Structure 1
Amino acid sequence: MSTQGPPIIIRRKKVVHGHHGGSWKIALADFMTALMALFLVLWILSSATPQQRQGVAEYFSTPLLTAIAGGEKQASSPNVIPGGGPDPTSMEGERERIDRRVDSRPSNVPQRLRELRRRIENAVQADPMLRELRNQLRFDMTREGLRIQLVDTDKRPMFELGSDQVAPYMRRLLRTMAPLLNEVSNPISISGHTDNLRYVGGLQGYSNWELSSDRANASRRELIAGGLEPDHLLRVAGMGDQVPIPNSEPGDAINRRIALVVLYQEIANHIRTQGSRGEMFGVPSAMPPSDDLPTDEFVEGIRETLGGQ
């Protein structure tokens, strides 16, 4: 009889390496697409004007919540359900509540005016001809709104001496500003001002009153020629030499100027309905610093004084 035991069987597992698949191709394609998009963006930015680049920067500066919600109306709502009335499925209550506030929200007014001021300054800076006029372009806030003053100097007057003939650089400046003024819905007031140098005939004939009015109207014509919507204009007036710039001599060149005021909507409404200037409506006399736009509290004080409109 054989003494050998049962045979020994050794089993070895065969290791089969799986195929790596094509996932790397998808990753590479995504990378190349992103790289191509980056080069396209860089090429577009290199060929864009300063104004276009500014517009791109403003787009990306929009708050994420506002961009996702589709605007301030939805982002400012505390309710998840877009309702607010008796029936949660109805949007009438929420829509009515927000629509009443959208134009009266105080933060909107300074923001729009800041944006307008920045756009005008950027447009002037981008134009080599207008860049020399930066010192003759002044911004400040009044009780009526954002005031933009175009002032004379002895070396660079805005108009021909003693006439309403617009200088070429003044014409270019007004026509550059015109489309930017269209970007806000606020009405515009134009006033002309002169120094105290009088005509030989005095007030009997053609005087500083007529000259300031003619220059204001000449500025209006240039703005219209530059594309300003006529409906934006509310008031064109000549102030003669009666409103000199504070801390200046009446005969100084800076008193020969054109003042454009982007009016608060409340002031414009009262001008239309009462035919009076904003100072006669009981508007608070406290003013913010001349170099700054009004604070939210200042704008809210105007609205409360004018009846919350």
Structure 2
Amino acid sequence: MASEKQQQQQQPIIVVRKKKGGSAHHGGAWKVAYADFVTAMMAFFMVMWLTATMTPEQLGGVADYFKNPSAVASRGSATVEGKMGPGGAGDAPIKVFDAVKNPPGAGSVDLKADAKAAEEKERKRLEELKKLLEEAIAKSLAMAPFKDQLLIDLTPEGLRVQIVDAQNRPMFDLGSPELKPHTRAILFELGRFFNQVDNRIAISGHTDTTPYAGGITGYSNWELSAERANAARRALVRGGLAEEKLSRIVGLSSSVLFDQVDSRNPINRRISIVVLNPAAERSAEASDRARVVGDGRAVDPPPLPPSGDAAALARAPAAVSARPAAANGPAAEAGAALASPQ
């Protein structure tokens, strides 16, 4: 027994270890980490690209979201309403994909191009209208003898026709708004012509700098020019111009002289009729909608004159201008100095 125990104790114990090769499998954890890294980088560059193409209002909405991630109204530049109210806690803090679908500048370029094309088309249409009017004047028995007193040109507001006084052929009696027979005949013809155009019409009356000497207290060239413009309106309407085509009637006295050197030149006494282009018509409507509140009452701002001289109109009293209403609508509001319609 002793010898057997000794043999067992002397017998060596062999431990077998498996050697791992250089290409042993490490698992897929590194792939997950790398995918997370790539996703984060893509998200980072996407955010950088979006912020570079977003408008200031959209950037303000993003800033407000992080400044105010709650349902409390923010005072930032562009908060967005959500189901929880203003702030960043709504269901749509910012319509970020609008910037992707419609990058800033893409739509604006198209709009500018369309506006420019429309403006060019309108200009060509008015040029054609100018040629037709000149031909009509040359063929008209009523207007041909007075073609030297009819000045036709294109202005930023549209097609302008000016009927000016001549030394021996005035449009009105001296110091009077009464039309001469030949002036009335000219306006009758123009009324029929302008009624064929879709554009609206603006009329302004002008005088020279000779002071009014009619003996009426408080009456001046402002009132005289306004009444002459209104007399021209009546003649145009009687000639066939529809009332709804009238945009405004303005008396500008001598604030917009034709002859800047000789302020008493008869040519300064004139009636200006403008076929308004769409841009001028929109400007006129915008000025009418803008109202200044003072002393508890609303006051209309001075209108843009057909001559385009806004500075001159700024000096003109608001009482000598009016904007006629449609034919079946209420009567046009006019200042005390403006003659009543018809």
TM-score bracket, shorter-length normalisation: 0.5 to 0.7
**CA, structure 1 residues 244+142, in 2 after alignment: closer, same or farther (shift >3 Å)?**
same
2:159–2:275 contact (8 Å) kept in structure 1? yes
Match 1:264 to one of 277, 301, 306: 277
Percent identity between the two aligned chains: 38
1:264 is displaced (CA, Å) by 1.4
2:172 maps to 1:159 = yes
Q: 2:128 corresponds to which letter in structure 1?
A: E
User: Structure 2: how far apart are the matches of 1:115 and 1:255?
Assistant: 27
Secondary structure at 1:241 match in 2: coil
2:225 maps to 1:198 = no
TM-score with structure 1 length normalisation?
0.54
TM-score with structure 2 length normalisation?
0.49
Q: 1:132 corresponds to which letter in structure 2?
A: P
2:162 maps to 1:183 = no
Match 1:226 to one of 234, 239, 253: 239
Relative contact order higher in (CA < 8 Å, ≥ 6 apart): 1
Secondary structure at 1:107 match in 2: helix
1:112–1:184 contact (8 Å) kept in structure 2? no
**CA, structure 1 residues 200+269, in 2 after alignment: closer, same or farther (shift >3 Å)?**
same
User: Structure 2: how far apart are the matches of 1:178 and 1:103?
Assistant: 30
**CA, structure 1 residues 273+256, in 2 after alignment: closer, same or farther (shift >3 Å)?**
same
1:130 alignment counterpart: 143
2:123 maps to 1:110 = yes
**Aligned-CA RMSD value:** 2.7
1:104 is displaced (CA, Å) by 6.0
2:304 alignment counterpart: 277
Query: Which stretches in structure 1 are left out of the alignment for 5+ residues?
Result: 1-96, 282-309
1:113–1:146 contact (8 Å) kept in structure 2? yes
Q: Write the mapping of 1:1-309 to structure 2, written as runs, cut at 5 A.
A: 105-200=118-213, 205-275=218-288, 276-277=303-304
1:116–1:181 contact (8 Å) kept in structure 2? no
Secondary structure at 1:157 match in 2: coil
1:219 is displaced (CA, Å) by 0.2
1:116–1:180 contact (8 Å) kept in structure 2? no
**CA, structure 1 residues 200+174, in 2 after alignment: closer, same or farther (shift >3 Å)?**
closer
Secondary structure at 2:204 match in 1: strand
User: Structure 2: how far apart are the matches of 1:203 and 1:273?
Assistant: 36
How many residue pairs were aligned? Answer: 183
Secondary structure at 1:172 match in 2: helix
Q: 1:117 corresponds to which letter in structure 2?
A: K
